Amino acid sequence: MFQGTIPSNVQMMLGEIVGSWNASDIYVGCSGNFTVERVLHNHAKARLHGNDVTAYSCLIGDYLAGNELGARVNPKYDGPMSFVEKYITDDASVIAVTLILSKLADALKSKKRNAYYERLIQAYKDQWETIFASQYNLVLALPKMLTSFCRGDVCEWVKGLDKSQGFICHPPFYKGGYEKMFAAIEDVIAWAPPEYEMIDQEKIHALFEEAMGFRHFLFVINKEMPELKKNLIGLAQTTNRGTPLYVYANHDRSRIVMPSQKATTPAIARLGQNDDVGETISLVKLQSAEFQGLRSQYLNPHIKPASESLALGVVVDKKLVGAFAVSVAPTMGNFDKHVSTPTVYLLSDFPVAPSKYKRLAKLVLYAALSKESKLIMEMLSNRRARTLITTAFSKKPVSMKYRGLFDLVSKKELDGVDENETDMSKIYYGSGFQLNYAAPLGAWTLQEGLALWKKKCSQVEQKEEVCEVGRPRDGDRPAGAPIT
């Protein structure tokens, strides 16, 4: 979902560009999380004017502009956060409550509130005095950085602005995503919402056409706009799987920021082509560069790497047989519809190759699902880990690598690509099927998993076929969209 936040490398571009503007007023459309305003507060001497439509942004925007909020607790609300009414005594307290509620949005709006979400909400209630006091003091320290703030449709707002000044806009990428994210706030806080039409690609194009009439303009969006090609002055991608951001402005200098990846070779002996799998299995932590080195050697090069929270090597009798990497970052996906949460995402898993074993990849999965692996993930995330989830791309409607150990929780047939497409990454992610798999963590120990693999999967063949798995790119599905 769109959060209205701009990555740091784009913030640097923005500060440099706007620093050269000769403008006394700068208007920011779709303020979101007020990243643009916070950057400009430190880089520009111009008066700043904000705009947005959601409860989160409007309440904060009015506060930063020194306006009366006119907000209170919704008298019809009878949910778990109804007690906050006694804490709302002034405008700063409204903002403090709003910020805290934004952190609980997933738990409060979950259609199936599981035990984890219930405990999370209860933890906030138990520690509310401390959390609220800290947040309230931070709000009081906020500078009033806005000269004005407009609650309303950005496409209408921009028409009445002074075109001799500057205009900046970082619009939502996904229709309705911003509203859904902060719906929990609107349940608790009663306020006066503005009237507006949901923004879509057609309205974004119309907005840009109008805004290009300003003396200075800058747009940040997640797609190329051929009609603005002459104004493309920046391209930034934070990670290999991150959504690329295109910066358009009437500026004479260009910038490009792309991710770099370090790759090294881990100092561990590997299972040879004719070696037998031994008897004692363990997990070893891999440095990110070591994992990327292995991944580059054994996986399809057209699978785009993600940023892992942890990478582990699977070692049997001091020989590396494979590796896997996970992410413990919170997800807004509706996995609780299908599995027991909290979940951990399996970003990548693969065996070394060549080897004489047909299903060596299964041994890596047995290790990833072990009690020892579960404990490591829980220590890393500082919370329970109940289910391991992953996404595979396959030409067939099932992945034999995961079948038997994981349950197929959703399947999507992809649209395919143009027959003249030459980008192998687009072909990989756009053809066949997208399969989401899940399995419970901690059903066996590492040694038990090795024994099960030897009993069920240790068939020998001359050539090992390396299975391929990849996580969907950020741009393929909005963050937080259901996996079905």
CATH of the domain at 359: 3.40.630.30
For residues 288 and 360, membership in a common domain is answered with yes
For residues 48 and 150, membership in a common domain is answered with yes
Mean pLDDT of 23-37: 93
Instruction: State residue 336's pLDDT score.
Output: 67
Q: What is the span of the domain harbouring residue 388? A: 281-456
Q: What is the share, in percent, of the chain residues with pLDDT greater than 70?
A: 87
Identify which has the larger pLDDT, 333 or 435: 435
For residues 330 and 214, membership in a common domain is answered with no
Mean pLDDT of 468-481: 36
Give the confidence band of 117 by pLDDT, cuts at 50, 70, 90: confident
For residues 212 and 325, membership in a common domain is answered with no
Cα separation of 410 and 407, whole Å? Answer: 9
Mean pLDDT of 204-227: 89
CATH number at residue 55: 3.40.50.150
For residues 251 and 297, membership in a common domain is answered with no
Is 219 part of any domain?
yes
Is 399 part of any domain?
yes
Instruction: State residue 179's pLDDT score.
Output: 60
Is 480 part of any domain?
no
311: phi then psi, degrees, rounded to nearest 5: -125, 135
Is 182 part of any domain?
yes
Instruction: State residue 181's pLDDT score.
Output: 67
Instruction: State residue 243's pLDDT score.
Output: 73
Is 422 part of any domain?
yes
Instruction: State residue 416's pLDDT score.
Output: 81
The torsion of the CA quartet 192, 195, 199, 202, rounded to 10 degrees, works out to: -170
Q: How many domains does the chain have?
A: 2
Mean pLDDT of 45-67: 94
Checking if the pLDDT of 372 tops 70, the result is yes
Checking if the pLDDT of 464 tops 50, the result is no
Instruction: State residue 426's pLDDT score.
Output: 72
Checking if the pLDDT of 100 tops 80, the result is yes
Contact between 379 and 418 (Cβ < 8 Å): no
Checking if the pLDDT of 461 tops 90, the result is no
Give the confidence band of 165 by pLDDT, cuts at 50, 70, 90: very high
Give the confidence band of 424 by pLDDT, cuts at 50, 70, 90: low
For residues 292 and 353, membership in a common domain is answered with yes
Per-residue pLDDT tens digits for 245-266: 899 998 878 888 776 667 788 8
For residues 321 and 247, membership in a common domain is answered with no
Could you give the angle at the alpha carbon of 92 between the alpha carbons of 90 and 96, nearest 5°? 120
Identify which has the larger pLDDT, 116 or 362: 362
Show the tokens assigned to 98.
Answer: 């709003």
Mean pLDDT score of the chain: 86
For residues 287 and 253, membership in a common domain is answered with no
Is 365 part of any domain?
yes
The torsion of the CA quartet 128, 130, 131, 137, rounded to 10 degrees, works out to: 130
The torsion of the CA quartet 77, 104, 53, 151, rounded to 10 degrees, works out to: 80
Is 317 part of any domain?
yes
Residue type, 210: E
For residues 235 and 293, membership in a common domain is answered with no
Q: Which of 30-34, 103-107, 423-427 has the highest mean pLDDT?
A: 30-34
For residues 22 and 164, membership in a common domain is answered with yes
Per-residue pLDDT tens digits for 130-157: 999 999 999 999 999 999 999 999 999 9
Instruction: State residue 427's pLDDT score.
Output: 72
Query: Residue 83 class from Cβ within 10 Å (0-12 exposed, 13-18 middle, 19+ buried)?
Result: exposed
Cα separation of 364 and 467, whole Å? Answer: 12
Residue type, 430: G
For residues 242 and 361, membership in a common domain is answered with no
For residues 243 and 318, membership in a common domain is answered with no
Checking if the pLDDT of 321 tops 90, the result is yes
Cα separation of 257 and 260, whole Å? Answer: 9
Show the tokens assigned to 189.
Answer: 């806080």
Instruction: State residue 447's pLDDT score.
Output: 98
Checking if the pLDDT of 269 tops 80, the result is yes
Is 413 part of any domain?
yes
Instruction: State residue 334's pLDDT score.
Output: 62
